[in-house]
């Protein structure tokens, strides 16, 4: 196992054109209310973003980068937007792009997915067992039909399509999740296990998320006053009122217990599944130093986070220059970390793209798209990493 301190650089291994990455939460509206999902990312009442505003943003990005963009759309649940089909058609067909993907909870009829799949390059189909634990056969049929469509398409087209079936591993349903995983193993090309983290505490946090945190929160905070507030959340959210409770102490302690909800046996089983991932699906190039030499291996981003390699504090990161994140309100940031504040808002039609790397100040990086952005531990390694990347591309 590679020592964390020996890692000197991380980047996505499948971006040969150095394309711009746009990770877009197109809305907050969702038909699910998962206990582990941040309240900032979902509700069932927020208004949908105006389609003309969205198209104008696509135009702005296209004018800056033309077709050399990797678009990723999520939510909320992106498919509940009434103009979703019009949006993906505009991005992929009318403007054109390098790659267009969505992340969905898979709740819409498979016929609609097949319609969208004609346009999309990739679908990440997230399985949330709070809502599907008694619908395993139904969702099994859905993912099989999508995989069959993908295989037929790829046989006759150079425009390769991808399907990722992602299991959100809520420990309450661990046995059912493992049963479903084993049921589709070998039938679906790309399967992921996404471990559950405690949701962030912020002003929109609701009783359901509070209860989830309370059930698993074993952290002894350095700041006892804040810890008491965390324990007493039910009193602060009575009558369904929104709350504001933030604490750097809590967030830092939360990092240390990022996979807190799992037993040791469950952690071992998750890691076993990670080790079964085929080499071509380990999408991170990981450069590390060993005995005075710089070496390279590949890791899957879920394995990378689960085993806590994902602390890049004080590293150089190219988020903001090769990647932007758009939140459900249309605010533009360098990534999920929101480091440095807003770079603009899509409603205003202006985007500030950085032309330099940022120096990370966060203790962890957990978003899979943020993780794919080039990160270097120190300037002294930049030339070595670049040379190794070039050598690898020629193999």
Listing DSSP states for 321-356 in one string gives: TSEEEE-TTSEEESSTT-TTS--EETTTTEE---SS
Asked if 371 and 365 touch (Cβ cutoff 8 Å), the reply is yes
Does one domain contain both 284 and 356?
Answer: yes
| pTM, two decimal places | 0.87
91 and 234 assigned to the same domain: no
Distance CA(187)–CA(57), nearest Å, equals: 38
pLDDT of res. 91: 98
What percent of the chain clears pLDDT 90, i.e. is strictly above it? 67
Same domain flag for 220 and 324? no
Residue with structure tokens 């996505």?
A: 12
User: Could you report the per-residue pLDDT of 284-296, keeping only the tens digit for each?
Assistant: 999 999 998 999 9
Structurally, the chain folds into a number of domains equal to 2
- The residue with greater pLDDT, 361 or 193, is 193
Say how many residues make up the chain: 395
What CA–CA distance (Å, rounded) separates 366 from 175? 25
pLDDT band at 217 (very low <50, low <70, confident <90, very high): low
Q: What does the pLDDT average to over 365-385?
A: 90
3-state secondary structure of 125: strand
CATH of the domain at 319: 3.20.20
Do 302 and 213 sit in the same domain of this protein?
no
- The first and second tokens of residue 219, run together, are 């952290």
Q: What tokens does 392 get?
A: 């690898």
Q: How confident is the model at residue 386 (pLDDT cuts 50, 70, 90)?
A: confident
213 with 299, same domain: the answer is: no
The secondary structure of residue 94, as a DSSP letter, is I
Kindly state whether residues 251 and 329 are assigned to the same domain.
Answer: no
Range of the domain at 109: 4-197+258-393
Sign of torsion over alpha carbons 249, 6, 317, 285: negative
Same domain? For 275 and 363 the reply is yes
Same-domain pairing of 213 and 71: no
């Amino acid at each position: 196992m590679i020592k964390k301190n020996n890692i000197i650089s991380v980047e996505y291994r499948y971006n040969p054109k150095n394309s711009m990455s746009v990770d877009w939460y197109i809305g907050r509206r969702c038909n699910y209310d998962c206990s582990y999902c941040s309240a900032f990312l979902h509700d069932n009442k927020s208004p949908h973003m105006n389609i003309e505003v969205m198209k104008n943003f696509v135009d702005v990005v296209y004018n800056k980068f033309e077709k050399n963009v990797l678009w990723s759309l999520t939510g909320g649940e992106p498919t509940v937007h009434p103009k979703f089909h019009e949006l993906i058609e505009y991005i992929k067909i009318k403007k054109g792009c390098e790659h267009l993907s969505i992340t969905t909870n898979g709740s819409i009829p498979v016929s609609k997915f097949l319609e969208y799949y004609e346009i999309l390059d990739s679908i990440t189909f997230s399985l949330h067992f709070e809502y599907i634990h008694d619908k395993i056969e139904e969702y099994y049929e859905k993912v099989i039909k999508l995989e069959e469509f993908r295989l037929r398409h790829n046989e006759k087209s150079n425009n390769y399509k991808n399907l990722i079936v992602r299991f959100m591993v809520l420990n309450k349903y661990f046995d059912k999740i493992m049963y479903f995983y084993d049921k589709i193993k070998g039938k679906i090309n790309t399967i992921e296990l996404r471990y559950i983290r405690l949701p962030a505490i912020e002003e929109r946090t609701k009783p359901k998320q509070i209860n989830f945190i309370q059930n698993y929160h074993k952290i002894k905070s350095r700041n006892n006053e804040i810890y008491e507030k965390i324990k007493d959340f039910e009193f602060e959210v009575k009558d369904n009122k929104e709350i504001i409770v933030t604490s750097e102490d809590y967030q830092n302690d939360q990092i240390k217990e990022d996979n807190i909800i799992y037993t040791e046996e469950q952690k071992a089983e998750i890691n076993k599944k990670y080790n079964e991932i085929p080499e071509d699906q380990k999408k991170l190039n990981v450069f590390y130093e060993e005995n005075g030499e710089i070496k390279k291996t590949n890791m899957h981003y879920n394995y990378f986070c689960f085993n806590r390699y994902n602390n890049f504090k004080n590293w150089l990161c190219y988020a903001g220059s090769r990647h932007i994140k758009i939140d459900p309100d249309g605010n533009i940031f360098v990534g999920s970390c929101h480091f440095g504040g807003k770079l603009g808002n899509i409603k205003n039609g202006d985007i500030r793209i950085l032309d330099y790397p940022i120096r990370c100040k966060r203790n962890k990086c957990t978003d899979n798209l943020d993780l794919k952005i080039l990160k270097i531990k120190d300037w002294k390694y930049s030339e070595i990493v670049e040379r190794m990347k070039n050598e690898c591309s020629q193999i």
